[in-house]
Structure 1
Amino acid sequence: MSVLLFVLGVLFVAVGIAVSIALHEVGHLVPAKAFKVRVTQYMIGFGPTVFSRKRGETEYGFKALPLGGYVSMVGMFPPNKETADGDVRRSSTGMFQQLAVDARQAETDRLEPGDENRVFYKLPVWKRIIIMLGGPFMNLLIGVVLFAVLLMGFGTSQSTTTLASVSECVVTGSQAAAGQSECTDTDPAAPAHEAGLLPGDTITAFDGKPVASWAELSELIREAAGRSVTVTYERDGVQAEAGITPLLTERPVTEEDGTPVLDDGGNPVTQEVGFIGVGSQTALVRQPATEVLPMVGENLQSIAGVVINLPQRLADVAQAAFSTEERDPNGPMSVVGVGRIAGEISSMEEAPVQNRVATLIGLVGSVNLALFVFNLIPLLPLDGGHVAGALWESLRRGFAKLFKRPDPGPFDMAKLLPVTYAVAVLLMGMGALLIYADIVKPVSLF
């Protein structure tokens, strides 16, 4: 059963990513057609064509390698300049210039009668930017929608006032750090245990004050150290009360996500607070629509941090892959790693189905936000590279107009083909490294 659930999790994310890629390309396709550019192909994947069908002037299909997709538009590069006798001027500067000449000629050869005003490079700069940003912003839209479904439809996992555990005794932070995990005869009894509280009880009030969240209850317990107060709880639908005296004890300081705070020496930081010895159950709590964009913003900020520090992150991945070091769970990973995480989540039979589905939806949403950020990098062949080229053309034409110089014409993106090929090789190398690392040293979240 676990193997089947693992496979279902992988398939869920695989289909989600495939659909996201397809919609990314739709984000390019729709504005291109709206601006009358002739689109020859809309393809999902690369390599040999597996299936295609032509509708109007565009061929739609699937390629053998489902590692991305593309929309092919005519006139991505301006034509070669010609000599007086009509022959294409051949540069004598070498291979890189020849690449540009050949690329421009290939674009020219694709033109058909009537394409003169339907080529990409003749569009106003703002239209080209809209076409190139259409793909990344489609991923952003998908991410926002999926996080809205996650937060508003399922909710976020939060601690509740229903008890998951009740300790029999008090084990101090220093005792726990020393390895003590069981009660001894010298350990004081935990106040909650003495008060008769049991796992499954829901605390509704503490010290006469109603509580609706674990944060509220924790704050009241901390403040009531050494005082005898009343705790009100519900058990099997029946309200009950008990007297309880929180102990002043040493407890570890934790971050908002529950991880312990460490001092400069790597030791847990502790503080003295009121303590009764209970743990909370977690449940999915639905959030309002106002929480969606802040959550998306936090994810974008985190992803941008990874992208900005990508060289160092990749170096860390390489070091972990070829040594005994552990992978950083917040570092980059390939689709193989994402699929493995999805399988692990899906096969956690001890977790409720609702929680697992919610986590998978959040995972696909995060992948879309990552695609949005990554595609904005201003390097060809990424969408951000085309946007940067269009902005540079606008800037230099603006300066020419300002200083009353001749219009320099469209910026020739073909001149950047050597950079494009270099970036493409780096991207393939990065992908190979991440796939290798995800196989031999996978990220483990559980």
Structure 2
Amino acid sequence: MLVLGVVLFALGLMLSIAWHELGHFTAARHFGVRVPEFMVGFGPTVFARQRGETLFGIKAVPLGGYIRMIGMIPPAPGERFGRSRRSGPFQGLIDDVRADSVKDIRPGDEDRQLWTRKPWQRIVVMFAGPFMNLILALALFLVVLMGFGIPTAQPVVASVSKCVVPASQATTTTDCPPGAPLTPAAQAGFQAGDRIVSFDGRTYGSWEDMQLAIRAASGTVPVVVERTEPGGGAPQTLTLFPQLIQTQLLDLDSARSTGEPQYVTGSFLGLSPIQPTTRQTPGQVVDYVGDMGIRAVNSILALPTKVPALFGAVFLGEQRDVNGPVSVVGVSVLGGEVLASDNAVADEIAMMLQLLAAVNVSLFLLNLLPILPLDGGHILPAVWEAVKKRIARLRGRPDPGPVDMARLMPIAYGFALVIMLYGGLVILADIVNPIKLNL
């Protein structure tokens, strides 16, 4: 089941990549740009078939994909096709890039090159790929959240902790350390199955809102509960004395926006809620996806800071950061672990779809980074070209022409090398010290 899960999730990733490239392909064809190749994967070609003027294929290494559009790089100023090659520190590289951009041009293709399209059209072509990932992510989230549902905490007690243990000293055992005091909930007499009607005189619509109230509570707090008893249970009032403790915030406050566990001092009771699988409303789906988007953005911005932890996990045997980056290899293994778990089949399917949706959110955001060779690195020059054209028009000056993207190629190769090294480090970490799911 683990191997089957890995294979199925890898296929899902390949379909996500193909869906991404289909966005570029469809937009390019719409604007009359010729696309000689549409490939999923890199390395040797495993399968290929010509359809019209495009060669569609699958390559051996499923770590990405691409479409080849003719004329992605404009020629040198004063040239039409950019076939010359000059000497200089980076000039040969720049001219080679220009030559590669036009190598598939045939007679009659002069006006079918990407660089000849208006800036806004090139922006649409390059944005269409990430946008397809966003659409797929939203569709998957809708299926999971509204179709299957997700575990949603309810104000009903699932279990009562016996004793107070700070989050920094928490263990996986259920035994209390010597000298550990009873939790406020245990002292007050809470039992599994108690439904919390009100906390400190107020009712709450969600467990999350009640958690915030619990953290801020102090002194003596009355809690009204409905207890399941033979013959029906009347409401009972239990008296709590919340205790300050270093507790871990998960999906609350700053943890919601950063995606990182945070340790703060707040009041603690020792209650765990039931978490039945509940279908979400459209409004809840919007909130959920919005929170995930914020966490994903912050995670991407924090990628450079994760290098020391990755190095330690690979070469020093340090514990792997569960909130760190994961490669396509690692996320495929996580998908396999989901399918190999003992959960219900519907829950496993929902978790795999949710994981695939999260990957597509990451693909959407990563590809919009304004650095070559990513899609955002092509969008930014097109935006700058549109700005320059507008300024020249307002000043009554001639069209300044396209941005000479070829001159950015040495920087692009540098970024590509950094991306490859970073990706290789993450893949190595996923092989020698993988992240495990607690299922």
TM range (shorter): 0.7 to 0.9
Which residue among 5, 9, 21 is the counterpart of 1:25?
21
Q: Which residue of 2 aligns with 1:51?
A: 47
* 2:404 maps to amino acid: D
- Within 5 A, what are the aligned runs for 1:75-90? 75-79=71-75, 89-90=84-85
**Structure 1 residue 296: deviation in Å?**
2.1
* Equivalent-residue separation in structure 1 for 2:109 and 2:358 (angstroms): 40
* Equivalent-residue separation in structure 2 for 1:89 and 1:224 (angstroms): 81
* 2:150 is the alignment partner of 1:156: yes
Q: Which residue of 2 aligns with 1:299?
A: 292
CA shift in 2, pair 1:246/1:98, >3 Å: same
Task: Quote the sequence identity (%).
Answer: 37
CA shift in 2, pair 1:116/1:109, >3 Å: same
CA shift in 2, pair 1:225/1:177, >3 Å: farther
CA shift in 2, pair 1:138/1:241, >3 Å: same
* Equivalent-residue separation in structure 2 for 1:71 and 1:178 (angstroms): 51
Matched position secondary structure for 2:321: coil
Which residue among 382, 386, 391 is the counterpart of 1:399?
391
Q: Which residue of 1 aligns with 2:132?
A: 138
* Equivalent-residue separation in structure 2 for 1:101 and 1:239 (angstroms): 83
Q: Bigger shift: 425-434 or 106-115? A: 106-115
Q: Which residue of 2 aligns with 1:390?
A: 382
Cα offsets for 1:165-187 (capped at 9, x unmatched):
357xx63558x979993599x98
* 2:133 maps to amino acid: N
- Within 5 A, what are the aligned runs for 1:111-126? 111-126=105-120
**Structure 1 residue 68: deviation in Å?**
0.9
Matched position secondary structure for 2:65: strand
Contact 2:184/2:241 (<8 A) preserved: no
**CA root-mean-square deviation:** 4.0
**Structure 1 residue 11: deviation in Å?**
2.8
Matched position secondary structure for 1:78: coil
**Structure 1 residue 120: deviation in Å?**
0.7
* Equivalent-residue separation in structure 1 for 2:346 and 2:229 (angstroms): 25
* Equivalent-residue separation in structure 2 for 1:99 and 1:405 (angstroms): 32
Q: Bigger shift: 411-420 or 44-53? A: 411-420
Q: Which residue of 1 aligns with 2:257?
A: none
Q: Bigger shift: 304-313 or 386-395? A: 304-313
CA shift in 2, pair 1:246/1:116, >3 Å: same
CA shift in 2, pair 1:230/1:133, >3 Å: closer
* 2:375 maps to amino acid: D
* Equivalent-residue separation in structure 2 for 1:191 and 1:72 (angstroms): 63
**Structure 1 residue 26: deviation in Å?**
0.6
* 2:409 is the alignment partner of 1:417: yes
**Structure 1 residue 248: deviation in Å?**
2.9
**Structure 1 residue 118: deviation in Å?**
1.2
CA shift in 2, pair 1:189/1:142, >3 Å: closer
* Equivalent-residue separation in structure 2 for 1:399 and 1:191 (angstroms): 67
Structure 2: 5+ residue runs without aligned partners? 255-261
**Structure 1 residue 371: deviation in Å?**
0.7
- TM-score, normalising length: structure 2: 0.81
Which residue among 98, 104, 118 is the counterpart of 1:104?
98
Q: Which residue of 2 aligns with 1:318?
A: 311
Cα offsets for 1:41-90 (capped at 9, x unmatched):
1111122221122121111111122111111111212345679xx99654
Q: Which residue of 2 aligns with 1:34?
A: 30
CA shift in 2, pair 1:414/1:204, >3 Å: closer
* 2:429 is the alignment partner of 1:437: yes
- Residue-pair matches, total: 424
* 2:52 maps to amino acid: G
Q: Which residue of 2 aligns with 1:374?
A: 366
CA shift in 2, pair 1:360/1:188, >3 Å: closer
Matched position secondary structure for 1:112: coil
CA shift in 2, pair 1:90/1:127, >3 Å: same
* 2:57 is the alignment partner of 1:64: no
**Structure 1 residue 15: deviation in Å?**
1.9
**Structure 1 residue 369: deviation in Å?**
0.8
* Equivalent-residue separation in structure 2 for 1:159 and 1:373 (angstroms): 29
* Equivalent-residue separation in structure 1 for 2:95 and 2:77 (angstroms): 9
* Equivalent-residue separation in structure 2 for 1:328 and 1:188 (angstroms): 32
* Equivalent-residue separation in structure 1 for 2:384 and 2:368 (angstroms): 15
CA shift in 2, pair 1:388/1:233, >3 Å: same
* 2:143 maps to amino acid: V
State the structure with more CA Rg: 1
* 2:117 maps to amino acid: L
CA shift in 2, pair 1:165/1:396, >3 Å: closer
**Structure 1 residue 124: deviation in Å?**
0.4
Contact 2:154/2:274 (<8 A) preserved: yes
* 2:351 is the alignment partner of 1:356: no
Contact 1:171/1:187 (<8 A) preserved: yes
Q: Which residue of 1 aligns with 2:259?
A: none
CA shift in 2, pair 1:399/1:268, >3 Å: closer
* 2:88 is the alignment partner of 1:93: yes
Matched position secondary structure for 1:129: helix
CA shift in 2, pair 1:156/1:313, >3 Å: same
Contact 1:81/1:89 (<8 A) preserved: no
* 1:378 maps to amino acid: P
* 1:59 maps to amino acid: L
